[in-house]
Amino acid sequence: MGKIAVIGIGKLGICMALHLEQAGYSVLGVDVDPQYIAQINQRSLSSSEPEVEAQLQSAKRLRATTHIQEVLQADIDLLFLFVATPSTPEGNYDHSQIEQVTDELAQLQSNSRPRHLIVGCTTMPGYCDQLAKKMKPYNYTVSYNPEFIAQGRIMHDLVHPDQVLIGEADTAVGERLAQLYSHICRNKPAIHRMDRLSAEITKLATNCFLTTKISFANSIGDLAISVGADPGKILAAIGSDSRVGQKYLKHGFGFGGPCFPRDNRALGIFARNSGHQLLIGEATDQVNQQHLAFQFQQHLEHFPPEQTIVFDSVSYKPDSTLLVESQQLALAVKLAKAGRRVKIRERKAITEQLDQQYPGLFELEARDE
């Protein structure tokens, strides 16, 4: 099956590396933490992602290293890149880790053999074209191939995708990636091949559509509650129309987490910088905040001041331990700061985070995982 390098084997990268290995590829993983690398090589890694530990135990063709120069082995020409692209204070994606890795690769490249860099991180539209120009003198092509995954389901989502998005450097690389996914995937996803810029916009716009759908559902649900109608029945009826669909069309908490809010903001910034305005995206963010205010007011009205308000989950979604932009947590914080007694029953990993971030604000109860 050949040999592949995966640079950046954190939460997403290790999952991709394991699926490549299981599909028959020999995989060289690269990361910076010697202790983490040792845990992978010793098959002793502890991970909160389901299936990772078990699949790592059985992996025969996966080896990890801190030495990036090892990716220049003669039998490796496909390099996946999964490093972090955190948001800047302005809402752009920070590409500095990609820049650091590609600077190292440029300095190391010592022969004329072409290699193909596959960027799996979320990037600002237009960045991968800039990166391709930077890397071309060193005989690298650059393609954009982001994953559509959810925390707590990464292993599952990688092999059961609805779509595979390939912003190909050229037709030959695109074909190789399409073939690679035919070996990894356990379903038959739609494979969309296009230029890099179109793929970068597609990645952000897909998540932005989902945030729009969530905000629409919550705004209709809030309206229904305000006038005494039934939000569940209304949204179920709307979702039964095949043009709409039931997914993400429930009345509940607003959208949060490490992807949806960031992608929504980033696409809006790209649009404004390009001379356009995405009004729907801006409205989606406003509705998300309006919905939080509505939920806050509803709790104040329906819970007597002496009653403890209990939250059984405050992570951004129930099967995750992440608190990033969690709307559940934002509501709990607003209520507690308004003087209401708030009790949070959560997994120990989360109650420990809350105790550090909000000392004394909540009554915390650790429950079984």
From residue 20, alpha-carbon distances to 114, 261, 366 in Å are: 21, 30, 37
The pLDDT value recorded for residue 342 is: 98
- Non-local (6+) Cβ contacts of 199 within 8 A are 128, 144, 145, 146, 165, 166, 167, 192
Q: Which CATH class is domain 204-301?
A: mainly alpha
pLDDT score recorded for residue 111 = 61
Q: pLDDT (tens digit, 9 = 90+) per residue, 198-257?
A: 999 999 999 999 999 999 999 999 999 999 999 999 999 999 999 999 999 999 999 999
pLDDT computed for residue 137 by the predictor: 93
pLDDT value at residue 87: 94
Can you list the residues of the chain whose pLDDT is less than 50? none
Distance CA 335, CA 341 (A): 8
pTM over 0.85: yes
Two structure tokens written together for 340: 């209401």
Best CATH choice for the domain 3-194 from the list 1.10.1060.10, 3.40.1160.10, 3.40.50.300, 3.40.50.720? 3.40.50.720
Q: List the chain domain ranges.
A: 3-194, 204-301, 303-369
List C-alpha distances in Å: 203 to 25, 129, 166, 266, 364: 26, 15, 10, 11, 38
